[in-house]
């Protein structure tokens, strides 16, 4: 069983305990991006201190440098990055498509230019699965065809939609081949630790279809009929409005099966988080909270964005958010001190602001976990 102790709130929201091979995680949960294996500027202990349960790492970046074979040799992501808790890798697709505007899609895979060496490389669905298994993440994502939604032609959306499902089949074949000697999450031993049997990671299939509601529903039906452990919603937060994103999530909310975790890829303002969670999403990742924090932008009460380098904070004794229980606020770092550190170029400022922003996201998640109306898993 992937989930236990599931409770519900609102029409479609739910809380629960997600069982991964690296430990249990309470949901809903926000997952910070540890792009190169670690959340920028934070130690694993500082990340845990914010309440974060899962860290996401980027397959694309780690594949290019230092390479999955180096990481595998050094104990996988857990050993290499010194992280004990669950880790998730994305498929590498998002970075291939977003960082190389000349990336060339064929039925075989995607060719792109290595930004370090200039060499032409290729990621195929099989290669993405191989890399992610070598990296040793506990949850991995099938390789999908992503397109930007702004000005996307309907025929391009349909083309990416069809290719995503063809690639999913190839991902599943490769995944089964490489994990045939491991037990899956439905095995009673999966939750037992220590366990002599090798456990495989969970595989997520990706729902595509742009802003076309019927395509999105069809994609979800295809993914849920496939042999995957989790449902990922891809291709959002790539140029559409918040209302357009909400429309897609609202359309999908009644259609999820209850047994699998639902992961919304790359979405992450506090407002987006609430929309997603109230529409049945269990997990979200985004680089935004920590990237913003490193650039002095933090969330205060009621989601107000504050720029800590602002002159008005020069003599401000208050913490970022009065009453916040994060390390930065609770231990008394003032806005004036943080402003000074940012102005001085001290990376401590980015670390302290990142701790606050992550905790801000996790406090929203935790507020939903207070709901306890029981729900069944079918």
Is-catalytic flag, 90? Answer: yes
Q: Is 335 in the site for Zn ion (CB under 5 A)?
A: no
Query: Given the complex with Zn ion, which of 324 and 365 has the nearer CB atom?
Result: 324
Q: ∠ at Cα 117 (111, 122), nearest 5°?
A: 15
What is the C-alpha to C-alpha distance for residues 241 and 153, in angstroms, rounded to an integer? 17
* Least distance between Zn ion and beta carbon 313 (Å): 15
Q: Is 233 in the site for Zn ion (CB under 5 A)?
A: no
Query: Given the complex with Zn ion, which of 121 and 340 has the nearer CB atom?
Result: 340
Q: What x-and-dash track marks residues 81-110 binding Zn ion by CB under 5 A?
A: ------------------------------
Return the closest-CA partner of residue 128 out of 227, 206, 21: 206
Query: Given the complex with Zn ion, which of 129 and 324 has the nearer CB atom?
Result: 324
| CA dist list (Å): 350 to 8, 72, 151, 191, 323 | 36, 30, 35, 37, 20
Contact (CB, 8 A) for 14 and 283: no
* Least distance between Zn ion and beta carbon 283 (Å): 22
Per annotation, catalytic residue among 24, 33, 90, 316: 90
Q: Is 77 in the site for Zn ion (CB under 5 A)?
A: no
| DSSP labels, 175-209 | HHHHTTTSB-TTSGGGG-SS-SS-BPPEEEEEE--
* Least distance between Zn ion and beta carbon 354 (Å): 11
Region near Zn ion per CB under 5 A, out of 15-23, 41-49, 93-101, 353-361: 353-361
Buried residues in 356-371 as b, exposed as e (16+ CB within 10 A): bbbbbbbbbbeebeee
Q: What x-and-dash track marks residues 146-175 binding Zn ion by CB under 5 A?
A: ------------------------------
Query: Given the complex with Zn ion, which of 306 and 326 has the nearer CB atom?
Result: 326
Contact (CB, 8 A) for 350 and 322: no
**79: number of Cβ within 10 Å:** 13
Q: How would you classify residue 280: left for phi > 0, otherwise alpha for psi between -120 and 50, otherwise beta?
A: left
Figure out which of the listed residues 25, 139, 253, 326 binds Zn ion, where binding follows CB under 5 A: 326
Q: Is 356 in the site for Zn ion (CB under 5 A)?
A: yes
Assign 249 to helix, strand or coil.
Answer: helix
Q: Is 339 in the site for Zn ion (CB under 5 A)?
A: no
Contact (CB, 8 A) for 132 and 202: no
What is the C-alpha to C-alpha distance for residues 209 and 213, in angstroms, rounded to an integer? 8
Figure out which of the listed residues 141, 160, 284, 329 binds Zn ion, where binding follows CB under 5 A: 329
Figure out which of the listed residues 324, 349, 352, 358 binds Zn ion, where binding follows CB under 5 A: 324
* Least distance between Zn ion and beta carbon 356 (Å): 4
Query: Given the complex with Zn ion, which of 253 and 329 has the nearer CB atom?
Result: 329
* Least distance between Zn ion and beta carbon 284 (Å): 20
Q: Going by DSSP bridges, is the β-strand pair 23-27/13-20 parallel, antiparallel, or unpaired? A: antiparallel
- Token readout for 67 is 């390479």
Region near Zn ion per CB under 5 A, out of 3-11, 249-257, 278-286, 322-330: 322-330
Query: Given the complex with Zn ion, which of 160 and 324 has the nearer CB atom?
Result: 324
Q: Which residues bind Zn ion (CB under 5 A)?
A: 324, 326, 329, 356
Catalytic residues: 90, 285
């Amino acid at each position: 069983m992937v989930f236990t102790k599931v409770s519900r709130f609102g029409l479609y929201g739910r809380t629960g305990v997600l069982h991964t091979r690296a430990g249990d995680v309470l949901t809903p949960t926000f997952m910070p991006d540890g792009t190169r294996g670690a959340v920028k500027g934070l130690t694993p202990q500082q990340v845990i201190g914010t309440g974060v349960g899962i860290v996401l790492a980027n397959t694309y970046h780690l594949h290019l440098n230092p390479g999955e074979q180096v990481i595998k040799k050094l104990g996988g992501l857990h050993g290499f990055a010194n992280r004990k808790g669950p880790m998730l890798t994305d498929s590498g697709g998002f970075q291939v498509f977003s960082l190389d505007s000349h990336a060339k899609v064929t039925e075989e895979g995607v060719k792109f230019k290595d930004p370090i060496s200039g060499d032409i490389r290729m990621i195929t669905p099989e290669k993405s699965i191989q890399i992610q298994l070598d990296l040793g993440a506990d949850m991995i994502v099938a390789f999908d065809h992503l397109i930007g939604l702004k000005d996307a032609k309907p025929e391009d959306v349909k083309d990416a939609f069809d290719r995503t499902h063809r690639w999913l089949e190839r991902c599943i074949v490769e995944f089964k081949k490489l994990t045939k000697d491991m037990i899956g999450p439905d095995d009673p031993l999966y939750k037992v630790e220590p366990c002599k049997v090798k456990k495989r990671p969970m595989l997520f299939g990706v729902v595509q279809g742009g802003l076309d509601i019927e395509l999105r529903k069809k994609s979800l039906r295809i993914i849920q009929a496939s042999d995957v452990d989790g449902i990922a919603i891809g291709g959002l937060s790539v140029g559409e409005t918040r209302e357009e994103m909400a429309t897609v999530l609202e359309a999908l909310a009644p259609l999820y099966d209850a047994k699998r975790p639902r992961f919304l890829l790359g979405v992450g303002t506090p407002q987006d988080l609430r929309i997603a969670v109230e529409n049945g999403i269990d997990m979200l990742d985004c680089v935004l909270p920590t990237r913003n924090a490193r650039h002095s932008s933090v969330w205060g009460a009621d989601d107000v964005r504050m720029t800590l380098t602002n002159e008005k904070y020069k003599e401000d004794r208050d913490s970022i958010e009065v009453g916040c229980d994060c390390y930065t606020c609770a231990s008394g770092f003032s806005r004036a001190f943080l402003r000074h550190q940012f102005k001085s170029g001290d990376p401590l400022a980015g670390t302290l602001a990142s701790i606050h922003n992550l905790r801000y996201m996790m406090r929203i998640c935790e507020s939903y976990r207070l709901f306890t109306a029981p729900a069944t898993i079918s």
